[in-house]
Amino acid sequence: MELTTKYIKLIFGLKLKQYRLDKGMSLGELARKSDLSVSYLNEIESGKKYPKQDKIAALARTLGVSYDKLVSLKLNKKLAPIGELLESNILDQLPLDHYGIDIQKLIIQLSNAPAQLNALVSTLIEMARSSELSDNAFSKTALRTYKELNENYFEDIEISVEKFKAKYKIDKTKSVTYNKLKKILTEQFNYELNDKALADNEELSSIRAIVIPGNKNKLLINPKLKPEQKLFILAKELGYLFMKIEERSYVYARRPLKSFDELLNNYRTSYFATALIIDKNQYIKEIKSFFNKKNWDGHFLLKLITKFNATPEMFFQRLTNIASKYLELNGFFFLRFNKEIGTDEISLSKEMRLNIRQNPGGYQADEHYCRRWISIGVLKQLEERVKKSKGFDDKIAGIQISHFYETDEKFLTISVARPSTLIKNTLISITVGFLLDEKTGAVIKFSNDPKIKTVKVHNTCERCGITDCKVRVAPPIVLTRKQESLKVDNALQKLISELGKN
pLDDT band at 89 (very low <50, low <70, confident <90, very high): low
Task: Kindly indicate the confidence band of residue 134, based on its pLDDT and cuts at 50, 70 and 90.
Answer: very low
Give the amino acid at 459. N
- Contact call for residues 478 and 462 (beta carbons, < 8 A): yes
C-alpha to C-alpha distance for 306 and 416, rounded to whole angstroms = 13
pLDDT at 56 over 80: yes
Q: In this structure, are residues 263 and 143 in contact, taking their beta carbons and an 8 Å threshold? A: yes
The band of 465, judged by pLDDT with boundaries at 50, 70 and 90, is: confident
Neighbours of 490 (CB within 10 A): 10
Q: What is the pLDDT of residues 4-31, one digit of tens each?
A: 677 788 888 888 888 888 889 999 999 9
Contact 188, 168 (CB under 8 A): yes
In total, the chain counts a number of residues equal to 502
> What pLDDT score was predicted for residue 5?
76
Residue 343 is classified by DSSP as S
Whole-number pLDDT of residue 212: 94
Across 436-464, average pLDDT: 93
Average pLDDT across the chain, whole number: 86
Of residues 59, 45, 58, the one with CA closest to residue 10: 45
- From residue 258, give the alpha-carbon distance in Å to each of 93, 107, 399: 9, 22, 37
pLDDT reported for residue 198:
85
Of 82, 77, 76, residue with least CA distance to 121: 82
List CB contacts of 201: < 8 A, sequence separation 6 or more: none
| Torsion 199-205-207-208 (CA) sign | positive
pLDDT digit string (tens) for 142-171? 777 788 888 899 999 999 999 999 999 998
Exposed/middle/buried for residue 393 (C-beta within 10 Å: 0-12, 13-18, 19+)? exposed
**Quick one: pLDDT band at residue 48, thresholds 50, 70, 90?**
confident
For CA atoms 234, 237, 238, 239, give the dihedral sign: positive
DSSP designation for 454: E
State pTM to two decimals.
Answer: 0.76
Residue 132 has pLDDT above 50, yes or no: no
Residue 358, pLDDT > 80, answer no
353: nearest Cα among 186, 92, 151, 183: 151
- Non-local (6+) Cβ contacts of 358 within 8 A are 404, 407, 409, 459
Using pLDDT thresholds of 50, 70 and 90, give the confidence band for residue 1: very low
pLDDT value at residue 111: 66
